[in-house]
Amino acid sequence: MSYLEYVVGAYAVFFAYLAWDFFAPRRRLARTRRDIALRARREAARAQKETPA
């Protein structure tokens, strides 16, 4: 492997890791927010069902 291929490969790995490091926490936060919203809806529906109208 020539020096240029090594440098290009190193930069490619670096930018792939940088992208992963940027998007992974946002994806996890979005999933957590969705789970919280779904749990709140379930609890609201359960509370509405339990109280007599």
**pLDDT tens for residues 2-31?**
899 999 999 999 999 999 999 999 999 999
Q: What is the pTM of this model?
A: 0.65
The DSSP secondary-structure symbol of 2 reads -
Compute and round to an integer the Cα radius of gyration of the chain: 23
Residue 52 confidence (pLDDT): 67
Residue 17 confidence (pLDDT): 98
Q: How far is CA 37 from CA 28, 45, 48, in A?
A: 14, 12, 16
Residue carrying the six token digits 């490091």: 21
Residue 49 confidence (pLDDT): 87
Q: How many angstroms from the chain centroid is the CA of residue 49?
A: 33
Supply 50's token pair: 């339990």
Question: Residue 50 above 90 pLDDT?
Answer: no
Supply 15's token pair: 């930018």
